C-alpha cells in the first residue's frame, strides 16, 4: 500500500485541511487523483495538494498540482510537519 497526503480547502476559503489515504500500487497515481477530485466535489472542497511522502528518505512525489506554486509549497510544508519529516 502507498500512502498519499492531501491538502484541501473549502471552495469559499478558510483554513487548510490535511489528511492522508492509502492506495494499492496497482491502481496508480491517476486513480488516486481521480478519487481525490471526486471526494472534493462531493464535499465542496478544492484540492490544493496531493503528494506521496517517503519520510525515511525525506522525499516527496508531488502529484497535484503538476507545477509547484506558492500555495503548493506552503501546503507541502504543512504536510511534511504532519508526516513527521524534519
The closest alpha carbon to 23, from 11, 5, 45, 41, belongs to 5
Contact 75, 16 (CB under 8 A): yes
pLDDT at residue 20 in the model: 96
pLDDT band at 85 (very low <50, low <70, confident <90, very high): confident
The Cα 78–Cα 73 span in angstroms is: 9
Q: Is the dihedral of CA 68, 74, 75, 77 positive or negative?
A: positive
The reported pTM is: 0.92
pLDDT cut 90: percent of the chain above it? 78
Each domain of the chain, given as residue ranges in start order, spans 2-82
Q: How confident is the model at residue 1 (pLDDT cuts 50, 70, 90)?
A: confident
Contact 71, 48 (CB under 8 A): yes
Please determine, for residue 70, whether its predicted confidence score (pLDDT) is greater than 90: yes
7 pLDDT above the threshold of 90: yes
**Whole-number Å distance between alpha carbons of 28 and 84:** 25
Amino acid at each position: 500500500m502507498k500512502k498519499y497526503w492531501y491538502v484541501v480547502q473549502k471552495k469559499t476559503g478558510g483554513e487548510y485541511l490535511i489528511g492522508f489515504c492509502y492506495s494499492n500500487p496497482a491502481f496508480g497515481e491517476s486513480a488516486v487523483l481521480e478519487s481525490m477530485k471526486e471526494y472534493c466535489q462531493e464535499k465542496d472542497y478544492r484540492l490544493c495538494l496531493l503528494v506521496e511522502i517517503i519520510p525515511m528518505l525525506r522525499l516527496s512525489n508531488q502529484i497535484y498540482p503538476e507545477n509547484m506554486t506558492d500555495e503548493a509549497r506552503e501546503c507541502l510544508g504543512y504536510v511534511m510537519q504532519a508526516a513527521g519529516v524534519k
